A and B are shown apart, each in its own frame.
Chain A
Amino acid sequence: MSAVIEKHDHHHGPQKGVLRWLFTTNHKDIGTLYLWFSFLMFLTGGAMAMGIRAELFEPGLQLMDPIRYNQLVTMHGLIMIFGGVMPAFVGLANWLIPMQVGAPDMALPRMNNLSFWLLPAAFTILLSTAFMEGGMPGFGWTFYAPLSTNYPNIAYFVFAIHIMGISSIMGSINVIVTIMNMRAPGMTLMKMPLFVWSWLITAYLLIAVMPVLAGAVTMLLMDAYFGTSFFDAAGGGDPVLFQHIFWFFGHPEVYIMILPAFGITSHIISTFSRKPLFGHSSMVYAMVSIAVLSFVVWAHHMFTVGMPLAAELFFMWATMVIAIPTGVKVFNWVATIFKGSITYETPMLFAIAFVVLFTIGGFSGLMLAITPADFQYHDTYFVVAHFHYVLVPGAVFSIMAAVYYWLPKWTGNMYDEKMGKLHFWLSFIGVNVTFFPQHFVGLAGMPRRYADYALQFAEWNAVSSVGAFLFGLSQLLFLYIVVKAVFAGKKATAQVWDGARGLEWTVDSPAPYHTFEIPPKVKG
């Protein structure tokens, strides 16, 4: 097969220079672009987070006024969600889905190119507000009306969100079409690797909720500039309606950022335990259940808006149900490790940290679901601690695990294992020192999105800031390790990891520019 590929490469390999990246329709190139873009955004959003933590290091306003602080909080959220985590997963999808299902490329390569290049445009628009009078959006990433409708420069924000939404929808269409039509002969749906499954479900979620977000921002735009009153009580509108629409998007969005992580973790844990995943089909059913449930739990973000008792009870019970499939997943991972023959390379360390810390985030999530207690937790640092536990050592750790795991396949070189482990331990300690104390200040009553706070919260905030700087600076090490592996390192074999299973490990390392021109056969 490799002979076929070499011959093909000879005809039209990658173009030279910058044009290769501008006009590429190759899923591997586009995957690389997505990943580098998301890393750039991760550093940008991370720098903002360090600005936030520097300001919160002690009570009082030291570095910035509250306007700037709110802008950083808002942009940190928007950048990390729409620029960091989501594009990283799309990048992984681009690299891996065709190779895992045995397809030569994504189904719609030109659209693939467009959906990537829309992203830098969207973020340029969003970030350009930093240089305008009135500055960046400062109303929180949740942009609750009517605070947001009276903000300067909101049109730029709305337009940027629209472009990101279009990009996401196009990316999702591409994923679904590829998976549905281009699987290798013999690969039935239930035989699909879990990362592919997780992305299939994620893509449907994206297509379902991105238009809802587009609706929300459009109504906002109309309220701000065209005299409508969707969310303005003075004109007969309803500010709570905004929150219902937003969270109808927002909750599935949360799972969009975690489902691919479930897929990644399953692959890595199975590989380094040298054992098949304990329950492949139960993992699939668990992910599908979580995705379906994500549409009926949105108002648990709104327990304090004054909903009727029946609604509060419904959303509490529905939210608690999610713990069941999530539990199934965690138990599955543990059962996969059980009686394995385990080694702890960097991807495995990140994957296990994912299981443990994501579960801790799940515990606080379950506590938050208990409505009477949520009246105390809501909009305090307890919530900040909760969602950072599921997003940072959750989603972000899974992305790092994936990069270490597949990097030898992408570059043909092994990364520096010692440095990888160092990066892991610094990140692991940094994350916990940053976010664990936030549970404490939250329970003690410190509200979130506060530029300044009362004196009794000072000690743990200082600890949290130290952790944040440790975590943030450690990511430069990650950059160094990846760049080093791109250019040098021990040559990787095709198999790379002795316990790895799946079609991507059957092609050379680095993976040739075109793979699976002739579909491989998947055995029954």
Chain B
Amino acid sequence: MKKEIGLFLVFLFSVNLNADWLDVNMPLGVTDISVKVFGIHMLMFWIMVAIGAVVFGVLFYAMWRYRRSNHKNAAQFEENHKLEIAWTIVPTILLVLMALPASSLLKEMYDHEAEEGGIDIQVIGWQWKWQYKYLDERVGSKPLSFFSNLTTPQEQYEFNQATKTENYLLEVDEELVVPINTPIRFLITSNDVIHSWYMSDFAVKQDAIPGFINVAKTTINKPGIYRGNCTELCGERHAYMPIVVRAVTEEEYQNWLQDHRETAAQLAFLTEREWSQDELFAQGKEVYQTRCAACHQVNGQGIPGFYPALAGSDVVMNDKFKQIEILMEGIRGSQMQSFAEQLNEVEMAAVITFTKLSWDNNKMGSSEIVIPKDIVDYKNVDT
């Protein structure tokens, strides 16, 4: 019998000691603030446990002691002013004791002033991706900026067609790279609906609201990769716009900035060069799958009532200028956003070419393709 119990316990522990089962509390985080927030969370937790133990202790004792079979005649008392004053005053004192440290911590979190040597990063929420702009770093005349898109392939989340990998739904094509031990101000806003930028490890959660800029300041103490989510319902792909932050040393940060500037310079060259239809189609397919398929679907059919089909669309088949315009400007009042900042000239031309040549669009309409120079021309006429 003892042996069976022993085996059973081993079984229980082998189930329970799986790390995910124990993932039941707030992370300590990697900033001074997040550690303090964790502290106040645990303080609150233990106070609640203590109050609960007293209140439920008395309740359960009374329930057992004064059950009818044990206590035939109920006492008939009402009101006791001393007791009532006590159970009003004691909680009041406890509440003040909780609220005071909370207030001072909140004041500390509300220090939004820029600091010497700090950096400012603008965070912009889009349906359904994040854009990061390094306001202190320039590429040409503009701030260094990029979009961060989910890279988990559709086969992993739709009907479990593929095995889910470790960072399922928490992986992006381009991470936000920041230096450690540097005060970073996140200036958070949105391009469309309200999103919320949530990084548990920094104890930062700020809503990204169109027309507003919210500030959150943080100083990361430890290098590492940190993952977060959007926490304000922003439409159907709300769960598919993760945040990935890579915190690195100052030196690595400078190298990363340098690489980024060089990549940007190469882009100009790519726009000038000749592109074959096959090359454009191949790159366009890739762009379409990460940026367009979520709404317009892989088969180009869209979702009736929400997203128009591109397969058999008159604009896609026959009106190349209209299609460039929609991609560049978006459609106001709909969820079709402007891709002018999100795609470079090559990607833009490639994805248009892809839609024109896919789903038999080329058989039904003109099979004319769009080259990067068309996009450059559009931009020049426009400005």
How near does chain A come to B241, taking the closest CB pair, in angstroms? 11
Residue among A144, A447, A455 with max Cβ neighbours from chain B (10 Å): A447
* Chain B positions 59 through 84: 1 when the CB is less than 8 Å from some CB of chain A, otherwise 0: 10011001110011111111110011
Specify which chain B residues have a CB less than 8 angstroms from the CB of A273 in the assembled complex: 66, 74
Interface digits, A314-357 against B, CB 8 Å rule (1 contact, 0 not)? 00110011011001101100110111111110000000100110
Cross-chain contact A67 with B306 (CB below 8 angstroms): yes
Whether the pair A376, B41 counts as a contact (CB closer than 8 A) is yes
| Contact across chains for B62 and A367 when beta carbons are under 8 A apart | no
B236 lies within 8 A of A370 (CB): no
Chain A CB within 8 A of B131 CB: no
Q: How far is the CA of A494 from the CA of B160 in the complex (A)?
A: 60
Q: Which of A278, A439, A454 has its CB near the most chain B CB atoms (within 10 A)? A: A454
For the complex, give the distance between the alpha carbons of A312 and B106 in Å: 9
- The smallest C-beta distance from A460 to any residue of chain B, in angstroms, reads 8
Q: Distance (Å) between the CB of B229 and the closest chain A CB?
A: 5
B74 touches A341 (CB 8 A): yes
- The CA of A69 and the CA of B157, in the complex, are separated in Å by 14
Interface residues on B, range: 35 or more
Decide if B209 touches A370 in the complex (CB within 8 Å): no
Q: Are A376 and B106 in contact (CB under 8 A)?
A: no
Q: Decide: A363 near B48, CB < 8 A? Known: A139-B233, A275-B74, A343-B67.
A: yes
Bound together, the chains give a CA A316 to CA B109 distance in angstroms of 15
Contact (Cβ within 8 A) A456 B20:
yes
Contact A138 B236 (CB under 8 A): yes
- Most chain B CB atoms below 10 A, which of A70, A240, A312, A341: A341
Distance, CA A338 to CA B170, complexed state (A): 52
| B109 contact from A238, A275, A279, A372, Cβ within 8 A | A372
Size category, A interface? 35 or more
- Chain B residues lying within 8 Å of A518, measured Cβ to Cβ, are none
Q: Which of A54-97 contact B (CB under 8 A)?
A: 59-62, 65-67, 69-70
Instruction: Indicate whether A150 sits within 8 Å of B66 (C-beta atoms), given known contacts A372-B105, A378-B205.
Output: no
A366 touches B166 (CB 8 A): no
A342 in contact with B160 (CB, 8 Å): no
The distance in angstroms between the C-alpha atoms of A313 and B110, with both chains bound, is 11
Instruction: Find B37's partner among A147, A355, A372 (CB 8 Å cutoff).
Output: A372
A375–B110 CB distance below 8 A: no
Report the Cα distance A321→B95, complex, angstroms.
Answer: 8
Decide yes or no: A359 and B169 within 8 Å by CB, A316-B102, A376-B203, A453-B239 being known contacts: no
A282 touches which one: B84, B91, B156, B192 (CB < 8 A)? B84
In the bound complex, CA of A330 to CA of B234 (Å): 38
Please report the C-alpha to C-alpha distance between residue A276 and residue B40 in the assembled complex, in whole angstroms: 40
B220 CB to closest chain A CB (Å) equals 16
Output the nearest chain B residue to A440 by Cβ-Cβ distance. Answer: B24
Tell me the A108-153 residues at the B interface (CB within 8 Å).
132-135, 138-140, 144, 146-147, 150, 152
Interface 1/0 per residue, B269-308 and A, CB below 8 Å: 0000000000000000000000000000000000111100
Which residues of chain B are within 8 angstroms of A379 by Cβ–Cβ distance?
Answer: 196, 198, 205, 231-232
CB <8 Å contact, B234 and A147: yes
Alpha-carbon distance A309/B83, docked complex (angstroms)? 37
A458 interfacial by beta-carbon distance below 8 Å: yes
Is residue A1 within 8 Å, beta carbon to beta carbon, of the partner chain? no
Residue from B18, B68, B229 within 8 A of A445 (CB atoms): B229
* B140 within 8 Å of A (CB atoms): no
Which residues of chain A come closer than 8 Å to B233, judged between CB atoms?
70, 139-140, 144, 147, 449
Closest to A375 in B: B205
B110 contacts A59, CB within 8 Å? no
* Most chain B beta-carbon contacts within 10 A, residue among A61, A66, A132, A458: A66
CB of B88 within 8 Å of the partner chain: yes
Q: Report the bound CA distance from A234 to B68 in whole Å.
A: 68
CB distance from B172 to the nearest CB of A (A): 13
22 interchain pairs, CB-CB under 8 A: A59-B169, A140-B233, A144-B194, A150-B333, A150-B335, A233-B211, A234-B211, A276-B76, A281-B79, A335-B83, A337-B66, A341-B73, A366-B44, A366-B98, A370-B99, A372-B36, A379-B232, A447-B198, A447-B230, A448-B231, A456-B23, A460-B21
A residues with CB within 8 A of B: 59-62, 65-67, 69-70, 132-135, 138-140, 144, 146-147, 150, 152, 233-234, 237-240, 273-282, 304-306, 309, 312-313, 316-317, 320-321, 323-324, 327-328, 330-331, 334-335, 337-344, 352, 355-356, 359-360, 363-364, 366-367, 370-373, 375-376, 378-380, 439-440, 443-445, 447-460, 499
Given A306-B215, A444-B24, 12 more contacts at CB 8 Å? A59-B164, A67-B303, A147-B235, A239-B210, A277-B78, A327-B91, A341-B71, A343-B68, A359-B56, A376-B37, A376-B203, A439-B24
Listed in ascending order, the chain B residues whose CB lies under 8 Å from chain A are 18-21, 23-27, 36-37, 40-41, 44-45, 48, 51-52, 55-56, 58-59, 62-63, 66-68, 71-80, 83-84, 87-88, 91-92, 95, 98-99, 102-103, 105-107, 109-110, 156-160, 164, 166-170, 192-194, 196, 198, 200, 203-207, 209-212, 214-215, 227-240, 303-306, 333-335
